[in-house]
Amino acid sequence: MKFLQQPPRFLFFTGKGGVGKTSIACATAIHLANPGRRVLLVSTDPASNVGQVFGIGIGNQVTAIPGVANLSALEIDPQAAAQAYRDRIVGPVRGLLPEAVVKGIEEQLSGACTTEIAAFDEFTALLTDSALTADYDHIIFDTAPTGHTIRLLQLPGAWSGFLDEGKGDASCLGPLAGLEKQRSQYKAAVDALADPVRTRLILVARAQQATLREVARTHEELAAIGLSQQYLVINGVLPREEGALDDLAAAILEREQAALAEIPQVLKTLPRDQVALKPFNLVGLDALRQLLVAADRQAIVEEGPPVALDAPSLASLVDLIAADGHGLVMLMGKGGVGKTTLAAAIAVELARRGLPVHLTTSDPAAHLSETLAGSLQNLAVSRIDPHAETDRYRQHVLETKGAKLDAAGRAMLEEDLRSPCTEEIAVFQAFSRIIREAGKKFVVMDTAPTGQTLLLLDATGAYHREVSRQMVDAHMHFTTPMMQLQDPRQTKVLLVTLAETTPVLEAANLQADLRRAGIEPWAWVINNSIAAAHAHSPLLRQRARNELREIEAVATRHAARYAIVPLLKEEPIGVERLRQLSKGN
């Protein structure tokens, strides 16, 4: 494996949910510890399952891994870190400032931005304080800080007064208010991340076009802020010999090889490794030791009869949606789970029933026109351009709030508007314009605003509360976009996931974020299920059995209602193939 050759002291594994970065990080830690090097594995993932992978409890303390000499692990709890961070900022002013002001500060610190920054705050010391890490030759991080977080921390530090005076606009700068004292430490941490002698960043992906597009964007975003020492690991590639055993396996193999042949240009120059798909769950030392070893094909032991899955289909959800005659349908979830395809499938089926539908997306990697591969009566399609909307939003703020500021204040406002949350808010406002159509037709949205954005908007009041105040003052009846999203009679939020551990945990976290913003998800959709596809290949049948635990978790613990969409032999492109997704299993 190229990424294991001459490894530096720090290795960061990053990638979307479900690509296997935790398994690869754990396997790497074992590999590096075997020759006698001392290794610390650190997880900063809110949905961390490092302890589950090793089969032990870890938590927020350095824990030796039984059975692997020289290996220890630590799971940073982002929620606990965020609470400690909030307490550190709010504690000194509680009792000194009016309760309403304290409540406003707490609201600003309630979103996912705070959680990201607090987690970064926790592991910064591991990058910069040599006394804490002197005992280790390598420190491996499962989930690197996002480009979003690093861009935040690179913004100037004089935000507190600027925000208190109301000169800023809706942004994620509130959580930065308590960072000034640590700025030198954060700068040292970011410098360490950008130093190729000390740090290697490993991008983990799957052999899927959507996932490779996502990781290409991650590569460019991180490279733009100085993190250029990157390697690419493509995980879970179906072995070629499986294609001869099953029609579904043959189709998967063909799709994966096509995706690899058309890998985005920006990724072609990166050192690249491939890891074969394994039939077993990557839990326990024996499984992890096999993950990165190229071995001859092993016989797969069948465990029980073929999977016979009796679960609700997407058609059952579409029936309930169609009964309302109109409304907003939002598909939300992490990258690579198939939101674009499912949004198109739902829109196509509603339009086929004679209902007017507007299908829209804000995902730069989404290709709705290619997915539809044609037109359909009753269906209109649009795409919100995030860059154009962000430019429009920035210009509007500068012409309104900026017009009243002096040169220094205007410069600070311009810096505020370079915050990464500005794009999210601009896109949300573009969505808001389209939302109004849902009173007369169906509006199906792909890649809806994240829970982070919704919490931010609800907390700061940049849009929702300002509109509310103006309307109340005018004694007018009104409905803001946030109110519409919170009203289950007008909006149905569908969370999309895969039947794998990390995507399900991430969807559950997103559901918790939405609930804090007053939005209750209407249904979950488990996409690309092998268990629902009736596979015959021994490897795929074993993978199908591995899905059952996650399907059970969604059905019994997470979702009010759910549906399962099978993995299809043919890529669901074009109206007829999209219709297959909603015809049932």
360-411 pLDDT per residue, tens:
987 665 567 777 877 789 999 988 888 898 899 889 888 888 888 888 888 8
The pLDDT score that the predictor gives to residue 113 is: 67
Strand partners of residue 476: none
* DSSP three-state, residue 284: coil
Strand partners of residue 563: 525
Average pLDDT over residues 212-234: 88
Query: Which of 581, 580, 578 lies closest to 564, judged by CA?
Result: 581
Q: What are the structure tokens assigned to 538, written together?
A: 């021994």
CATH 3.40.50.300 residue ranges of the chain are 2-291, 314-386+438-581
Q: What are the structure tokens assigned to 153, written together?
A: 């921390």
The pLDDT score that the predictor gives to residue 461 is: 45
pLDDT digit string, tens, across residues 341-358:
999 999 999 999 999 999
CA–CA separation, 524 vs 317, rounded Å? 10
The pLDDT score that the predictor gives to residue 458 is: 55
Residues 453 and 203 sit within 8 Å (Cβ to Cβ):
no
Fold for domain 314-386+438-581?
A: Rossmann fold (3.40.50)
Question: b/e string for 441-471 if b means 16 or more Cβ within 10 A?
Answer: bbbbbbbbbbbbbbbbbbbbbbbbeebeeee
Share of the chain above pLDDT 90, in %: 33
Q: Which of 149-163, 288-302, 342-356, 546-560 has the lowest mean pLDDT?
A: 149-163
Phi, psi values for residue 155, rounded to 5°: -70, 155
Q: Which of 184-193, 378-387, 463-472 has the lowest mean pLDDT?
A: 463-472
The pLDDT score that the predictor gives to residue 216 is: 92
Higher pLDDT, 25 or 410: 25
> Distances in Å between the alpha carbon of 316 and those of 327, 488, 566?
17, 18, 14
CA–CA separation, 349 vs 367, rounded Å? 19
**Cα four-point dihedral sign 77, 17, 431, 411:** positive
The pLDDT score that the predictor gives to residue 524 is: 98
Looking at residue 241, the DSSP 8-state letter turns out to be G
Q: What are the structure tokens assigned to 161, written together?
A: 């007064």
pLDDT for residue 428 is more than 80: no
Angle between helices 314-322 and 339-352 (to 10 degrees): 50
Architecture (CATH level 2) of domain 2-291: 3-Layer(aba) Sandwich (3.40)
Average pLDDT over residues 285-301: 72
Residue in the block written with tokens 């004292």 = 181
The pLDDT score that the predictor gives to residue 460 is: 45
The pLDDT score that the predictor gives to residue 153 is: 58
Average pLDDT over residues 306-335: 89
For 221, other C-beta atoms within 10 Å of its C-beta total 16
Average pLDDT over residues 54-80: 86
Strand partners of residue 230: 201
CA–CA separation, 391 vs 411, rounded Å? 16
Q: What are the structure tokens assigned to 434, written together?
A: 């389209």
Average pLDDT over residues 514-527: 91
Task: Decide the pairing of beta strands 357-361 and 523-529.
Answer: unpaired
Q: Which residues are catalytic?
A: 18, 20-23, 45, 502
> Distances in Å between the alpha carbon of 423 and those of 152, 159, 363, 426?
13, 19, 12, 5
